[in-house]
Amino acid sequence: MSFIRVSSACPVTRVADIDFNLNSIKECIDIAEKSNSKAIVFPELSITSYSCGDLFSQRQLLNKSKDAIKSLCEYSQEKDILIAVGAPFEHNYALYNCAYIIFNGSLLGIIPKIYVPNYSEFYEKRWFAQGKPFYFEKVDLDFQKGIPFGTNLIFKCNEIKLAFEVCEDLWVTIPPSSFLALMGANIIGNLSASNELVSKSDYRRNLVSSQSAKNLSAYIYSSSGVYESTTDLVFSGHLLIAENGTILEENHRFQRNNEILNSIIDIDKLNAERTKNVSFRDSTTMFNLTPEIIEFNFNDITIGNFDRKINKHPFVPSREEERKKRCEEILNIQSSALAKRLEHTGLKKVVLGISGGLDSTLALIVAVKTFELLKLPNENILTITMPGFGTTDRTYNNAVNLCKELGTDFREINIVDACVQHFKDINHDADIHDVTYENVQARERTQILMDVANKESALLIGTGDLSELALGWCTYNGDHMSMYSVNCSVPKTLVRYLVNYAAKYTMTPVISDILLDILNTPVSPELLPKDSEGKISQKTEDIVGPYELHDFFLYYFIRHGASNEKILFLAKQAFKGEYSQETIEKWFNSFIKRFFTQQFKRSALPDGPKIGTISLSPRGDWRMPSDASYESFK
């Protein structure tokens, strides 16, 4: 596992007061180091301040700036933190706006700003020259010789590769960080002085998020604070840390004290994304890019308290408003996909097996939405409930009432007699409640649904979800099979939110009450007889384990190709206080075994729409040998 804690800092400054600014910067470094941060990014020209104007042509200011860099190098001795600080740099009769990279007493490199703005409120070309793209040379200062100076510098410590750009460089058509990422940098720092205008912070946030997503990188952004404000411009000290399109941390702007924003970056995750993304790999070969690698070593990569928030339901957005939008989008994808299949086949009817459980309920919601799109009557949705040996009154009544309230063509076909006859035909004792006893019922139901679909010229809709497919929790050629499977890439944890969304926003009060009761019913295939009180005796999560754990395992196993060690570490962080370490390890081992041994079912899946980043369809996202051993994954 390769985690690193990083910081974005906004020190209190005074325009042109270098001693004051230097002391604030040192205070921020000390705070960040105490939190086990390994890299800290300061704003653009934070040594002098950005708003010096024509003072940048004054020898006194420039000399004091150089002295401050020397002092900061000395201050950094024995400190295990990489420092990126902004200051001017004189070279060949030109002045450059630069990022100085300092570590453990040494100046590792100086990076000039490439794009120097000279429009609207910006007038930088009056003072600063442009850095050359893909450029490198070595320069000298009074206190250190042979310092790397250029725009292709990457600072490497094992798998951690940092690079830096300055403010405007991010805002151009192709930011330098795009090329730096293709050269290997997985953490980008931006030293910025971005003034505030109405709504500019939203655009800035989107830029940082988008750039980290396109580069499959982390992005540390630091902008000048309120004390930089002068004359006509106001600055807010906007701090952002992003990772692959996600804003991990963001501050409240306009603070009036030294501020340090910390976050933990997952280097393994970023590197895994790049390995998987063929387009990123291909992009690295399209340009003749040669980085200047500057190697250094942290003494201790320990991150201290692991305070990065790990979403225990990674398939489900944590914020209510985002969940609502996600649910609406998923239902649109599902219904649009089903509508296309119906239009293509020319069929006007669908068949669904309705159990009163979550998955078939979601499939029915999708069918209703689809028929609304196609302007077809709900009577063309043939809903069939098929009570068996374990069907309880609660699920039966919910199935019946839901179908009738939605106005579907509801039918009931009891499968008990047919299953008893089949037990006789295959010489199976009906008192032996084994896998044969259960699968006979599942296959009987599928046979009925298939035959009714043929009889009615209808499409049989499959109801099984992604979590069940991952675990193989379905009967081969039973509920495993259909003519089109609308839930096949929706994990169980997300199914719950989709049904809840429909109950809350799209259905009548009566239907909503039914949906809420279905949500509160234990997940079960109801293939074993009811208990003495007529309640569900076979609870899926008692047998295969909690679905929220399995969905968590599935996400990190497939999406990030994470090692067992990392998956377990993250699970223990996410479910701290909810499941013991032993419980998490037990169900993870079960997940691995089931995932490998049940691949043969996924190798024969019917068509179904891809919903999110993870799909187990053998025709696209997941191509795995049915006979792969799980021994190496224990």
pLDDT digits (tens, 9 = 90+) for 558-610: 998 999 999 999 999 999 999 999 999 999 999 999 999 999 999 999 999 99
Q: Residue 187 and residue 166: Cα distance in Å, rounded?
A: 14
Number of domains within the chain: 2
- Of 449, 450, 441, 377, nearest to 407 (Cα)? 377
Q: Is residue 25 situated within a structural domain?
A: yes
Q: Residue 150 and residue 132: Cα distance in Å, rounded?
A: 7
Angle value at C-alpha 77, between 75 and 83, nearest 5 degrees = 70
- Co-location of 367 and 221 in the same domain: no
Asked if 459 and 483 count as a contact pair (C-beta separation under 8 A), the reply is: yes
Last residue of one domain, picked from the residues 247, 280, 295: 295
Give the pLDDT band (50/70/90) at residue 74: very high
Last residue of one domain, picked from the residues 504, 519, 540: 540
For the cut 90, the answer to whether the pLDDT of residue 510 exceeds it is yes
Domain containing residue 381: 320-540
| pLDDT reported for residue 1 | 57
State the CATH number of the domain containing residue 101: 3.60.110.10
Asked if 324 and 502 count as a contact pair (C-beta separation under 8 A), the reply is: no
- Radius of gyration for the alpha carbons in the chain, expressed in angstroms and rounded: 30
State the CATH number of the domain containing residue 386: 3.40.50.620
Q: Is residue 559 situated within a structural domain?
A: no
Q: Residue 239 and residue 222: Cα distance in Å, rounded?
A: 5
Question: What is the reported pTM?
Answer: 0.91
Q: Is residue 404 situated within a structural domain?
A: yes
- Co-location of 265 and 344 in the same domain: no
- Co-location of 265 and 227 in the same domain: yes
Give the pLDDT band (50/70/90) at residue 99: very high
Q: Residue 541 and residue 124: Cα distance in Å, rounded?
A: 63
Q: Residue 627 and residue 621: Cα distance in Å, rounded?
A: 18
358 is in an annotated binding site: yes
Q: Residue 403 and residue 288: Cα distance in Å, rounded?
A: 63
Asked if 365 and 378 count as a contact pair (C-beta separation under 8 A), the reply is: no
- Co-location of 328 and 209 in the same domain: no
Buried b (16+ CB within 10 A) or exposed e, 117-154: beeeeeebeebbbbbeebeeeebebeeeeebbbbbbbb
Report which residue type is found at 171: W
Q: Is residue 194 situated within a structural domain?
A: yes
- Co-location of 37 and 158 in the same domain: yes
Q: Is residue 396 situated within a structural domain?
A: yes
629 is in an annotated binding site: no
Q: Is residue 42 situated within a structural domain?
A: yes
- Co-location of 285 and 324 in the same domain: no
> In which order are the strands placed within the sheet that holds 144-150?
136-141, 144-150, 106-112, 94-103, 82-91, 39-41, 3-10, 259-266
Asked if 419 and 440 count as a contact pair (C-beta separation under 8 A), the reply is: yes
2 is in an annotated binding site: no
- Co-location of 363 and 241 in the same domain: no
- Co-location of 374 and 268 in the same domain: no
- Co-location of 51 and 195 in the same domain: yes
- Co-location of 135 and 250 in the same domain: yes
Instruction: Indicate which residue of 38, 66, 113, 269 is catalytic.
Output: 113
Q: Is 456 exposed, middle or buried (0-12, 13-18, 19+ CB in 10 A)?
A: middle
357 is in an annotated binding site: yes
Distances in Å between the Cα of 345 and the Cα atoms of 123, 338, 482, 575 are: 64, 11, 15, 46
For 396-442, the pLDDT digits (tens) are 999 999 999 999 999 999 999 999 999 999 999 999 999 999 999 99
Instruction: Indicate which residue of 28, 44, 66, 488 is catalytic.
Output: 44
Q: Residue 1 and residue 562: Cα distance in Å, rounded?
A: 9
Average pLDDT, whole number, for the chain? 95
For 186-231, the pLDDT digits (tens) are 999 999 999 989 999 999 999 999 999 999 999 999 999 999 988 8
Tokens 């990279």, residue? Answer: 101
Q: Is residue 551 situated within a structural domain?
A: no
- Co-location of 42 and 137 in the same domain: yes
For 17-60, the pLDDT digits (tens) are 999 999 999 999 999 999 999 999 999 999 999 999 999 999 99
Strands 106-112 and 94-103: antiparallel
327 is catalytic: no
Tokens of 171: 């805002």
Q: Residue 157 and residue 265: Cα distance in Å, rounded?
A: 14
| pLDDT reported for residue 538 | 76
10 is catalytic: no
With helix as H, strand as E and coil as C, how does 573-628 read? HHCCCCCCHHHHHHHHHHHHHHHHHCHHHHCCCCCCCCCCCCCCCCCCCCCCCCCC
pLDDT, average across residues 601-625 = 93
Instruction: Indicate which residue of 167, 327, 403, 488 is catalytic.
Output: 167
Q: Residue 54 and residue 90: Cα distance in Å, rounded?
A: 15
328 is catalytic: no
For 254-271, the pLDDT digits (tens) are 999 999 999 999 999 999
Q: Residue 46 and residue 18: Cα distance in Å, rounded?
A: 9
237 is in an annotated binding site: no
Last residue of one domain, picked from the residues 540, 558, 576: 540
- Co-location of 240 and 348 in the same domain: no
Percent of the chain with pLDDT over 70: 100
463 is in an annotated binding site: yes
Angle value at C-alpha 537, between 439 and 589, nearest 5 degrees = 70
Distances in Å between the Cα of 264 and the Cα atoms of 4, 221, 247 are: 5, 14, 12
Q: Is residue 550 situated within a structural domain?
A: no
